[in-house]
Amino acid sequence: MQSLFIPLAAAMVWLVTCPEPALAYLDPGTGSFIFQLVIGSALAGLTTVKLFWSRIVEKFKPKAETSSRDES
């Protein structure tokens, strides 16, 4: 598995750092569409966090110690 990871990672880095020109036309609506995707994704993420906030807090809250002896 390790022997496959390094060449694959090197190929991905090369593809990202050495792009070829696309020679494509981006119409004015493309920017608006990308903006809507970013805002929609952010709002969906915030809504998900809001809905599951109590469960998220419970995961990070320290457990209360339960003792069987009487503390009087």
Residues 27-68 have pLDDT tens digits of 889 889 999 999 999 999 999 999 998 888 888 888 877 666
Distance between CA atoms of residues 38 and 55, nearest Å: 26
Alpha-carbon distances, residue 25 vs 29, 30, 52 (angstroms):
11, 10, 42
pLDDT in tens, 6-22: 889 999 999 889 888 87
* Model confidence, pTM: 0.48
Q: What pLDDT is stored for residue 62 in this prediction?
A: 85
Q: Comparing 49 with 69, which gets the higher pLDDT?
A: 49
Q: Comparing 2 with 33, which gets the higher pLDDT?
A: 33
Cβ atoms of residues 49 and 56 within 8 Å:
yes
